[in-house]
Amino acid sequence: MENEGTGEEMPEPRSADSVRVAVRVRPFSQREKNSGRRCVVSMHSQSTTIQDPKNGEHLKTFTFDLAYWSHDGYQKDKDGILIPSNPNSKFAGQIHVFHDIGRGILDSAWRGYNATLLAYGQTGSGKSYSMIGFGTNKGIIPRVCEELFQAIKTQKENIELQVMFSMLEIYNEQIRDLLSRTKTPGGLKVREDPQLGFFVEGLKWVPCENYAQIEKLMEQGSKIRMTASTSMNASSSRSHMVITIQFKQIFLDTALTKQSSINMVDLAGSERQKSSGAEGDRLREGSRVNLSLTSLGNVISALADSAMGKKVLHIPYRDSVLTKLLQSALGGNSRTTLIAAISPADICYEETLSTLRYAERTKKVQNKAVINTC
């Protein structure tokens, strides 16, 4: 990993960076296999094509920065390892994805850039698998944390390094601290600081010294998230989870500091909320969840239009909790990557197409990341 440890370099001039977009198709589930679902997605190097499930015609081809295939149709190679039978497809496991995306986040962190990673897609498309993972198939977030501490161990003595960790959930436009068992009625509030921008008032920040600590916090946080959603008779797929790491390097010789804020967001399922049949609380919840995701879409569209040269007077960051918290991640001071998670199955094709279109718009967003030094 690249790691400039001197702290003497000058901040780079402001430069525009496009949001990086990766698309990842999950494999078929056993249920989909048993019910004979057809695959409507294909990938050839960086391009992703979606077919019309009715006649197999190519509907549209998208090109993103990264494309990951994890579909079945595997065969064993000479070492007994499963590889995709389709030689054109690029099978990607968790390590591979971490290598491409997580390493970039770590590189940004050491250089003093803010970094943001967003996972977008319908429920069941593999967002949490990519971000958190399951069991030993660890996702990007735990791997980033693990490698950060591995690198910290090898640092020179004249640098002080600080890692602070927070984990929250946005549900129904209310913020719940996932590291605290105290429930704040109405949720925590977003405040605005003229210098720092939007922040969550009263959010718990835990200083961490090793990966084991973070692993434990993530476990606790996930439990609180599950319990909370069960008690409200809701699904955690309707909430957004935001994990933030504040990484600070203090160079003791020069008293210079470099700071990086890493946001990693497992977004709520992007599927359209069905209004029919939903009543009372559930209806309100549906529309409220939509508010944050819809606002995110509006912010992205406005930024994409502006990047394409259209005159845009207003970027609606203030419309929702999520867009306030992601203000610098989109169009601001951050190196941002979006993972568009999709299903390969014919029945999901409408949502898949909508996710790919969303990702295409997001790719146009230009950020202005700068090294944070003081």
Q: Which residues participate in the annotated binding site for ATP?
A: 121-128
Residue whose Cβ sits closest to Mg ion: 128
In the bound state, the residue with its beta carbon closest to ligand ADP is 126
Residue 123 or 294 with smaller CB distance to ligand ADP: 123
Residue 128 interacts with ligand ADP (CB under 6 A): yes or no: yes
The active-site residue out of 70, 108, 128, 292 is 128
Site string for ligand ADP, 226-255 (x = CB under 6 A): -----------x------------------
For this structure, is 197 an active site residue?
Answer: no
Is the CB of 62 or the CB of 69 nearer to ligand ADP?
Answer: 69
Tell whether residue 127 is a contact of ligand ADP (CB under 6 A): yes
- Per the annotation, the verdict on 127 as an active-site residue is yes
Known catalytic residue at 193? no
Contact 122, 271 (CB under 8 A): yes
Phi/psi at 54 (nearest 5 deg)? -75, -45
| SS3 track for the chain | CCCCCCCCCCCCCCEEEECEEEEEECCCCHHHHHCCCCECEEEECCEEEEECCCCCCEEEEEECCEEEECCCCEEECCCCCEEECCCCCCECCHHHHHHHHHHHHHHHHHHCCCEEEEEECCCCCCHHHHHCEECCEECHHHHHHHHHHHHHHCCCCCEEEEEEEEEEEEECCEEEECCCCCCCCCCECEEEECCCEEEECCCCCEEECCHHHHHHHHHHHHHHHHHHHHHCCCCHHHCEEEEEEEEEEEECCCCEEEEEEEEEEECCCCCCCCCCCCCHHHHHHHHHHHHHHHHHHHHHHHHHHHHCCCCCCCCCHHHCHHHHHCCCCCCCCCEEEEEEEECCEHHHHHHHHHHHHHHHHHHCCEEEECCEEC
Q: Per rule CB under 6 A, is residue 363 in the interface with ligand ADP?
A: no
Shortest spacing between CB 182 and Mg ion, in angstroms:
25
Asked if 84 interacts with ligand ADP (CB under 6 A), we say: no
Residue 172 sits in the site that holds Mg ion (CB under 5 A): no
- Please indicate whether residue 77 is annotated as part of the active site: no
Segment near Mg ion (CB under 5 A), from 122-130, 194-202, 244-252, 305-313? Answer: 122-130
Q: Is 124 labeled as catalytic in the residue annotation?
A: yes
Token pair 């549906």 is at which residue? Answer: 286
- Which residue among 269, 292, 331, 343 is the active-site one? 269
Closest CB 321 distance from Mg ion, rounded Å: 19
Rounded CA-CA distance 90/25 in Å is 11
Q: Per rule CB under 6 A, is residue 134 in the interface with ligand ADP? A: yes
Q: Under the criterion CB under 6 A, does residue 123 sit at the interface with ligand ADP?
A: yes
**Among 286, 301, 275, 279, CA closest to 239:** 286
Angle between helices 140-153 and 103-111 (to 10 degrees): 50
Contact 368, 17 (CB under 8 A): yes
Is 261 known to be catalytic? no
CA distances to 17, 46, 300 from 140, rounded to whole Å, are 22, 20, 23
- Please choose which of ligand ADP, Mg ion, none residue 124 contacts, taking the beta carbon within 5 to 8 angstroms, the exact cut-off set by kind: ligand ADP
Active-site hit among 68, 120, 129, 349: 129
225: contact with ligand ADP by CB under 6 A = no
Using CB under 5 A as the binding rule, whether residue 128 contacts Mg ion is answered as yes
Candidates 126, 133, 187, 332; catalytic one:
126
Comparing CB distances to ligand ADP, the nearer of 70 and 334 is 70
Active site residue 204: no
Q: Which of 7, 124, 187, 331 is in the footprint of ligand ADP by CB under 6 A? A: 124
Among positions 25-44, residues that touch ligand ADP (CB under 6 A) are 26-27
Choosing from 140, 217, 341, 369, the residue that interacts with ligand ADP (CB under 6 A) is: 341
Interface with ligand ADP, residue 126, by CB under 6 A: yes
Task: Choose among ligand ADP, Mg ion, none what residue 26 binds, the Cβ cut-off being 5 to 8 Å by kind.
Answer: ligand ADP
Binding-site positions read 121-128
The residues binding Mg ion (CB under 5 A) are 128
Catalytic residues: 124, 126-129, 266, 269
The residues binding ligand ADP (CB under 6 A) are 26-27, 70, 121, 123-129, 134, 237, 341
